[in-house]
Amino acid sequence: MDEFSFRDGTLWCEQTPLREVAEKFGTPTYVYSASTLVDHYVRFAKAFESIDPLICFSAKALSNVHLLRLLGDQGAGIDTVSGGELHRALLAGVDPERIVLAGVGKSADELREAVRRDIRCINVESEEEVALLARIAREEGGRPRLAIRVNPDIAPDLRTPARTTTAVRGVKFGVDIERAAALFSRAAGDGFLRPEGIHVHIGSPIFDPQVYAMAIERVLALVADIEAAGNPVTTINLGGGFPAEYTEGSAPGWDEFADAICPRLEGFVHRGGQIIFEPGRTIAANAGVLLAAVRYRKQAGERELVVIDAGMTHIARAAMYDSYHFMWPVSPVNGAIPSSRDQESVDDLVAYDVVGPICESSDYLAKGRALPAMVAGDLVAIFTAGAYGMTMTSNYNSQLRPAEVLIQGADVKLVRRRETYDDLVALEFPDDTPPSLPS
């Protein structure tokens, strides 16, 4: 599952005790396991090797340049959804031939940069975006490759949050599937565009492999219609959405998804077609934890609260999606080590509401969570935080964003320093250095 484990009464990442990381870099701090990230990418690729996909890791899940470079060195491409993510992917040294750009509201500048870099594919999401891309291509003298993102009107399984469901009729993403063939034909008639594929992303996380099977059947029917009109389709991009295990055994394995997906696409691949995937969470989530420290304990009515130094500005998922993250003290009292991250395996626990320091009632990381007794200064690890953790941080309440640390064996590398108050206000003084506080 990952390279985080309890040894000698304390939590380690690979060959490094996390208490030492907190002592050196403070809290809150995101900590990533390089071995876990690489292992998950390699195992994902192995599961789908029969269709030899281009695997473009989703930068919106984890966008640190050092982590993108680590994956790029393994052969990964990068899925980007903004000009900033495109900049990060290029800065990480990823070949433009392995970069795709998606997003429902790309700016002209973002499209122009993608055209200039001649990236692998631009996933377009509306008729007006195709028209804008054609104009930019003429101005730049380029001929960008594009895929039409379609909305196949497929409801995911019930475990997929409504806020991350992206392929039911009426949502903002993609082109209604019945309009896609005509749009593909118009793009093919423009001498400055190279429409080559269909893109679909059905939401995240998707726990039922058969949802992908349904999407593939609809995409293949669309491909047949497009090609019947004389326009070849050489790429099918199935997006991402593959789940991660927030609790052990909670998600199907990659082989189960491959069993549902690969047989349906082998014919397309055998005639020379290219498959693209855009996984993020499934590779990165369990490659990272967020280290935090207890600041206070307090009583609120009948409830026991633990206030930690990480809140919704540092890890937003619980407040946004009511999501579950396993958490545990880094060095629990009396050696209270959970079995397979199952708090029920430990006796003498306290039901805590775990809250952050943010001035919002939604700033809860857990409610009624059974944990060992804790006191101010104790370290807590919030697990499965490698995806949509750091990328969703903010400066709300003028909080400072955390540090990020990458661990490979016993090697510990700071890959993003903690923000300072000078960082916080620097952009508010565009023509000068921020003034110093009086001593």
The answer to the question of whether 205 is labelled as a binding residue is no
The answer to the question of whether 281 is labelled as a binding residue is yes
Q: Which 3 state secondary structure label does DSSP give 190?
A: coil
Clarify whether 359 is annotated catalytic: yes
Q: Which 3 state secondary structure label does DSSP give 355?
A: strand
The answer to the question of whether 352 is labelled as a binding residue is no
Say which DSSP state 390 is in: G
The position carrying tokens 């369990």 is 286
Contact 237, 262 (CB under 8 A): no
For 30, 45, 281, the CA distances from 262, given in Å and listed in that order, are 35, 12, 21
**Residue 21, number of CB atoms within 10 A of its CB:** 25
Catalytic site residue from 56, 121, 262, 359: 359
The answer to the question of whether 279 is labelled as a binding residue is yes
Closest CA to 403 of 327, 310, 282: 310
Q: Which 3 state secondary structure label does DSSP give 276?
A: strand
The answer to the question of whether 212 is labelled as a binding residue is no
The 10-13 sheet, strands edge to edge:
4-7, 10-13, 16-17
Say which DSSP state 187 is in: H
The answer to the question of whether 264 is labelled as a binding residue is no
Q: Which 3 state secondary structure label does DSSP give 135?
A: helix
The answer to the question of whether 135 is labelled as a binding residue is no
Report which residue type is found at 160. Answer: T
The answer to the question of whether 428 is labelled as a binding residue is no
Q: How far apart are CA 82 and CA 79, in angstroms?
A: 10
Rg over CA atoms, the chain: 23
**Residue 228, number of CB atoms within 10 A of its CB:** 9
The answer to the question of whether 170 is labelled as a binding residue is no
Catalytic residues: 359
* Residues making up the binding site for substrate: 281, 317, 321, 360, 388
* Residues making up the binding site: 241, 278-281, 317, 321, 360, 388
* Residues making up the binding site for pyridoxal 5'-phosphate: 241, 278-281, 388
